[in-house]
């Protein structure tokens, strides 16, 4: 796996932030359908910039300006503006947790209209689309890079910044369960918790709270899950889908489905899990996970998406069965490529 930012990259990032006047217009952007890492990293950094005396900091993301229920109430939320109100030509644009320009949706033009574009990310597939790129594929979350940049900028860690970075770190490590949970991750978590934030309260809010309608919806959607032991060259795949109609019947918003994959991927008999969430008549947001046998980012990239080795996604089109056919085929291709000796 490639190394993190070089000293020259850190120096360039520091220069970009330190050289900016207090009234400069700064726009922070994270990826479409923001998750805990995207929002937490962005708002934590935004609060840090405010502590440096930068007054005109705004944060946004493409698409509808709706923050998922579980991520509401984060410190720094007041920095958020809808994408339609985002500064058209900011002095500085900073992008968070986006592996490529396409993840910035309609805000992609800011990469050219801004005086300078800074990219903070931890995806191995990051295309280095900024003028300055702080990309570290070894980092468990983008918030690890934010923490380092804030430290280098001399911003003292406080409870508000810490809460944002903790939410980001916790969500991207699957609540400190994934392989990326290194000693360094726990050392960062310790520093964040030492500011006085309440990890129990935060975890309950982001993982263990959902409307009763969503509990019933999950029941129905999990009830139709299918196990295919032969898929992925015998490693097994489990998959299910949720339609817009399912959401309507249970009175739920799409963001409640973000947690669905976690209830599917626990299946003992399958290495790979797949959840398709309908987003329009024939379009699906597809999530893929692997327990380690398959690099699902290769599958996602082959199908027009991206992500990490063991957590990836793409936008699928057409009927759900057809789309899953595509996933099966790419799983086999990914396994054949990685193990040419296998039949």
Binding mask 110-149 vs ligand 5GP (x if CB under 6 A, - otherwise)? Answer: -------------x--------------------------
- Residue 311 engages ligand 5GP in binding (rule: CB under 6 A): yes
Binding-site residue total for ligand 5GP (CB under 6 A)?
13
- Residue 312 engages ligand 5GP in binding (rule: CB under 6 A): yes
Contacts of 234 (CB under 8 A, 6+ apart): none
Touching Mn ion, residues 80-119 (CB under 5 A): 97
Which of 180, 287, 294, 295 is the binder for ligand 5GP (CB under 6 A)?
287
Binding-site residue total for Mn ion (CB under 5 A)?
4
Nearest to 161, CA basis, from 43, 57, 31: 43
Across the strands, what pairs with 227?
Answer: 238
Contacts of 165 (CB under 8 A, 6+ apart): 40, 41, 44, 143, 146, 147, 188, 192
- Residue 104 engages ligand 5GP in binding (rule: CB under 6 A): no
Answer yes or no: are the C-beta atoms of 284 and 317 closer than 8 Å.
yes
- Residue 305 engages ligand 5GP in binding (rule: CB under 6 A): yes
| Cβ-based nearer residue to ligand 5GP, 57 or 171 | 171
Alpha helices, DSSP H, located in 181-235: 183-193, 199-207, 212-223
Euclidean distance between CA atoms 136 and 214, whole angstroms: 36
Task: Find which of ligand 5GP, Mn ion, none residue 315 binds, CB within 5 to 8 Å per kind.
Answer: ligand 5GP
Radius of gyration of the chain (CA): 20
- Residue 34 engages ligand 5GP in binding (rule: CB under 6 A): no
Answer yes or no: are the C-beta atoms of 94 and 233 closer than 8 Å.
no
Q: How far is the CB of 37 from Mn ion (least distance, A)?
A: 3
The binding site for Mn ion (CB under 5 A) comprises 37, 97, 142, 172
The binding site for ligand 5GP (CB under 6 A) comprises 99, 103, 123, 287, 305-308, 311-315
């Amino acid at each position: 796996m490639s190394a993190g930012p070089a000293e020259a990259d850190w120096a360039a990032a520091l220069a970009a932030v330190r050289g900016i006047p207090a009234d400069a217009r700064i726009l922070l952007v994270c990826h479409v359908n923001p998750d805990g890492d995207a929002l937490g990293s962005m708002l934590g950094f935004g609060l840090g910039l405010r502590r440096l005396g930068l007054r005109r900091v705004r944060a946004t993301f493409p698409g509808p300006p709706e923050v998922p229920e579980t991520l509401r109430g984060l410190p720094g939320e007041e920095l958020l503006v809808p994408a339609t109100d985002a500064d058209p030509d900011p002095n500085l644009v900073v992008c968070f947790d986006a592996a490529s320009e396409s993840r910035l949706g309609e805000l992609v033009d800011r990469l050219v209209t801004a005086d300078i574009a800074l990219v903070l990310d931890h995806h191995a597939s990051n295309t280095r689309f900024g003028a300055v790129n702080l990309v570290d594929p070894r980092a468990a979350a983008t918030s690890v890079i934010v923490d380092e940049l804030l430290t280098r900028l001399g911003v003292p860690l406080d409870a508000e910044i810490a809460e944002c970075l903790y939410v980001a770190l916790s969500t991207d490590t699957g609540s400190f369960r994934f392989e990326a949970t290194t000693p360094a991750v726990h050392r960062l978590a310790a520093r964040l918790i030492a500011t006085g934030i309440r990890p129990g309260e935060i975890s309950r809010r982001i993982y263990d709270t959902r409307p009763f309608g969503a509990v019933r919806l999950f029941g129905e959607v999990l009830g139709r899950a299918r196990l295919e032991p032969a898929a992925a060259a015998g490693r097994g795949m489990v998959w299910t889908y949720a339609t817009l109609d399912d959401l309507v019947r249970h009175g739920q918003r799409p963001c409640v489905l973000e947690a669905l994959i976690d209830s599917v991927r626990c299946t003992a008999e399958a290495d790979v899990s797949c959840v398709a969430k309908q987003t329009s008549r024939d379009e699906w947001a597809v999530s893929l996970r692997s327990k380690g046998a398959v690099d699902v980012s290769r599958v996602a990239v082959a199908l027009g998406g991206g992500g990490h080795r063991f957590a990836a996604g793409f936008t699928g089109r057409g009927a759900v069965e057809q789309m899953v056919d595509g996933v099966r085929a790419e799983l086999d291709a990914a396994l054949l490529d990685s193990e040419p000796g296998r039949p």
